């Protein structure tokens, strides 16, 4: 006959699908009752209406059902009380502190990289989503903060949907994979719903996404900034003094000139510009390259700023399609597309 110890051993290998830690470690196993071949398991959920309740049921049922002698598995649920949630936050390193610490002490990521552009439409979010995917595929723990509150697009580009669980005012980020977490205003409002906020509310929202999110210990937090040098960019500069700036531009003179203003802002706010990426660099047809938007503007900007030119990304229908369908080419594209973004990611990763 199966034993309680066998069941607990199996449960120790089953993770909570949101927090990605074993149910036993999170103290979510309330009881195990073994009656002959019939097993009943009590699971304590973090919040009522847990969106992944069915996933937990399936994982527990399948896992425990593999134990020899088990005929049936039944899973029952209840919900953590305030004391249990407080212990959980402490286990996860997110215990509430009296008098919230200033956001400038955030230290959950090894590097904070703000992806910026001087103007809209240059593909900054496309670069962010593919760069995050490439770093994740390299085994790095990556978070993406969609800081473009007005024009959020990261959820669609990464194919991540849903509403995050909130545990005592702490937001559990959604995941693209085990090594890629995402937070966006798009998870809290409808995709077609406009966000009509003034500067102070933007500042508060960005700070909350930094301090009130249960991020893993990350290698990288990529912040997809809105275009230009407005409130959000200033908030990042103020809140994360160690943040690095990655500039995305197209080759045309208008785009590179405006992108230079972002670099000037970085200089004044003591942010470090780490490099320039040129998007929509050329269109290739039958082996011939057509430089639709001009040529080498990104290289010239990097030279002007005295920073590394990290690479050029061609103008391709498949890159746009990957963004629209939530399948970044850094993961689902051609070998050449994957290699291109991996090359950029490795260059950034080597800047330690």
Q: Domain coordinates of the chain in residue numbers?
A: 4-91, 104-349
Q: Is the distance from CB of 98 to CB of 64 less than 8 angstroms?
A: no
265: part of which helix (H) or strand (E)? helix 253-268
- Angle among Cα 340, 117, 194 to the nearest 5 degrees reads 110
Evaluate if residue 105 carries a pLDDT over 70. Answer: no
Model confidence at 8, in pLDDT bands (50, 70, 90)? very high
pLDDT bin (cut points 50, 70, 90) of residue 7 is very high
DSSP 3-state of 15: strand
What φ, ψ does residue 144 adopt, rounded to 5°? -120, 120
pLDDT per residue as tens digits for the range 265-298? 777 777 888 999 999 999 988 889 999 888 888 8
Task: Provide the pairing of β-strand 29-35 with 38-45.
Answer: antiparallel
Minimum mean pLDDT range among 41-50, 53-62, 201-210: 201-210
Q: How far is CA 14 from CA 21, 85, 144, 223, 237, in A?
A: 8, 20, 26, 31, 40
pLDDT of residue 100 exceeding 50, the answer is no
Residue 130, pLDDT score: 97
> Are 276 and 251 spatial neighbours (Cβ–Cβ below 8 Å)?
no
- Top CATH class of 4-91 equals alpha beta
Q: In what order do the strands lie in the sheet with 38-45?
A: 29-35, 38-45, 72-79
Q: Is residue 104 scored above 50 in pLDDT?
A: no
Question: What is the Cα–Cα distance from 17 to 245, expressed in whole angstroms?
Answer: 33
Two structure tokens written together for 329: 């080419």
The confidence score (pLDDT) of residue 229 equals 61
Fold of 104-349: Rossmann fold (3.40.50)
| Cβ-Cβ contacts under 8 Å for 90 (sequence gap 6 or more) | none
pLDDT in tens, 113-142: 999 887 778 899 999 999 999 999 999 999
Q: Please state, for a pLDDT cut of 90, what percent of the chain lies above it.
A: 47
Rounded distance, CA 50 to CA 18, Å?
10
- Distance CA(337)–CA(90), nearest Å, equals 42
Q: Is the pLDDT of residue 99 over 50?
A: no
Sign, CA torsion 115/141/110/14: positive
CB 170 within 8 A of CB 201: no
Average pLDDT, the chain: 85
Residue 276's CB is within 10 A of a number of other CB atoms, namely 27
pLDDT in tens, 201-260: 666 777 788 888 888 889 999 999 887 666 676 777 777 878 899 999 999 877 777 777
Residue 33 in contact with residue 40, Cβ under 8 Å?
A: yes
17 vs 73 pLDDT, higher one: 73
User: In this prediction, what percent of the chain has a pLDDT beyond 70?
Assistant: 90
Please compute the mean of the pLDDT values over residues 145-162 and round it to a whole number.
87
């Amino acid at each position: 006959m199966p034993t309680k110890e066998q069941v607990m051993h199996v449960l120790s290998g089953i993770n909570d699908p949101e927090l990605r830690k074993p149910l036993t470690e999170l103290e979510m196993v309330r009881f195990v009752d073994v009656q002959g071949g019939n097993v009943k398991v009590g699971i304590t959920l973090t919040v009522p209406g847990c969106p992944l309740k069915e996933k937990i049921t399936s994982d527990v049922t399948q896992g425990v059902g593999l134990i020899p002698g088990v005929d049936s598995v039944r899973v029952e649920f209840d919900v953590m009380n305030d004391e249990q949630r407080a212990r959980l936050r402490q286990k996860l390193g997110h215990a509430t502190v009296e008098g919230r610490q200033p956001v400038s002490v955030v230290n959950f990521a090894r590097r904070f990289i703000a992806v910026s552009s001087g103007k809209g439409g240059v593909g900054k979010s496309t670069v962010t989503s593919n760069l995050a995917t490439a770093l994740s595929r390299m085994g790095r723990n990556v978070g993406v903060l969609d800081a473009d509150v007005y024009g959020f697009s990261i959820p669609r580009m990464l194919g991540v949907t849903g509403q995050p669980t909130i545990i005592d005012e702490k937001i559990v980020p959604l995941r693209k994979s085990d090594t890629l977490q995402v937070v966006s205003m798009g998870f809290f409002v409808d995709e077609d719903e406009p966000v009509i906020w003034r500067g102070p509310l933007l500042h508060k929202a960005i700070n909350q996404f930094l301090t009130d999110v249960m991020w893993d210990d990350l290698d990288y937090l990529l912040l997809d900034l809105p275009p230009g040098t407005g409130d959000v960019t200033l908030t990042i500069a103020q809140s994360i003094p160690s943040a690095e700036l990655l500039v995305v531009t197209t080759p045309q003179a208008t785009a590179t000139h405006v992108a230079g203003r972002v670099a000037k802002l970085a200089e004044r706010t003591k942010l470090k510009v780490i490099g320039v990426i040129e998007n929509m660099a050329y269109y290739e047809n039958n082996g011939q390259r057509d430089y639709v938007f001009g040529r080498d503007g990104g290289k010239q900007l990097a030279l002007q700023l005295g920073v590394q030119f990290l690479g050029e990304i061609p103008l391709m229908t498949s890159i746009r399609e990957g963004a629209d369908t939530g399948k970044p080419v850094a993961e689902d594209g051609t070998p050449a597309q994957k290699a291109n973004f991996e090359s950029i990611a490795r260059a950034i990763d080597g800047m330690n």
